[in-house]
Amino acid sequence: MKKSYTPGKYIDISNLSWHQVVELDACSRCGECVKWCPVYVQDAKESITPRDKLRAFRKIIVAQNSLRRKLINPDSRLGRLICPKLPTEEEIKQAAEAMYECSTCRQCHFVCPSRIDTVELYEALRRALVNSGVPHIESHEPMVASSKAYDNPWVQPRSQRARWTKVAKKEKRIKDIPRIVKPPKGLAPPKPIRDE
């Protein structure tokens, strides 16, 4: 059954290894990764940078697991003063969106002086969001629907996958239509999981 996320509920990070939890805290904010991130080059938002992805999640996880929240009633007068506030639904939504604004190219890992295994960490955090019932990101809905309907994210059957090449040739964006590699005779093509 699909889980649903209730605001204020904890993000379950039990799928993260202890090493990944430490990595969340290992960013020195040096900014080296920012110089190399191809997604940041296209859209220079701080939330896209690896350092901000990690900062946003660290903030959520620290607030949720704060010792002060465990020792002091966060709704008491003292608690309201010194306990970190739980993330709002909007903060979780923004952190989740940023986690998907990434091509998983790993450039940030290769240049990171702390050697944070960023992509493995992002994927673990994406899994944690799904496990906690955080809803799909709006812009992912067509891909989710397409995966269910066609077993691929291109919003069309596999047989139409190369259709763009005809349009590109007509608009003179490519010289020739690429040759589609066909399986050798006698070798059955992979069986689709669902009918197209």
By C-beta, is 12 or 123 nearer to ligand SF4?
123
| 31 part of the interface to ligand SF4, by CB under 6 A | yes
The count of chain residues that interact with ligand SF4, using the rule CB under 6 A, is: 27
Q: Please state the closest distance from residue 17 (CB atom) to ligand SF4, in A.
A: 18
CB-CB contact of 80 with 127 (8 Å): no
Binding mask 64-103 for ligand SF4 (x = CB under 6 A): --------------------------------------xx
Among 99, 118, 124, 125, binds ligand SF4 (CB under 6 A): 118
Half-sphere exposure of 56 toward its Cβ, with a 13 Å CA cutoff? 22
CB-CB contact of 150 with 156 (8 Å): yes
Query: Would you put residue 115 in left (φ > 0), alpha (ψ -120 to 50) or beta?
Result: left
Scanning residues 35 to 64, which ones bind ligand SF4 (CB under 6 A)? Answer: 36-39, 50-51
Q: Say how far apart CA 83 and CA 137 lie, in whole Å.
A: 30
Region from 82-90, 109-117, 157-165, 173-181 binding ligand SF4, contact rule CB under 6 A: 109-117
Q: Please state the closest distance from residue 19 (CB atom) to ligand SF4, in A.
A: 15
φ, ψ of residue 100 in degrees (nearest 5): -95, -5
| 29 part of the interface to ligand SF4, by CB under 6 A | yes
| 151 part of the interface to ligand SF4, by CB under 6 A | no
Q: Which of 96, 179, 98 is nearest to 130 (CA)?
A: 96
| 114 part of the interface to ligand SF4, by CB under 6 A | yes
Q: Say how far apart CA 122 and CA 87 lie, in whole Å.
A: 19
Q: Say how far apart CA 11 and CA 9 lie, in whole Å.
A: 7
CB-CB contact of 153 with 147 (8 Å): yes
Region from 7-15, 25-33, 124-132, 164-172 binding ligand SF4, contact rule CB under 6 A: 25-33
Among 11, 24, 27, 98, binds ligand SF4 (CB under 6 A): 27
The distance between the two most distant Cα atoms of the chain, rounded to a whole number of Å, is 76
Question: Residues interacting with ligand SF4, by CB under 6 A?
Answer: 27-33, 36-39, 50-51, 102-108, 111-114, 116, 118-119
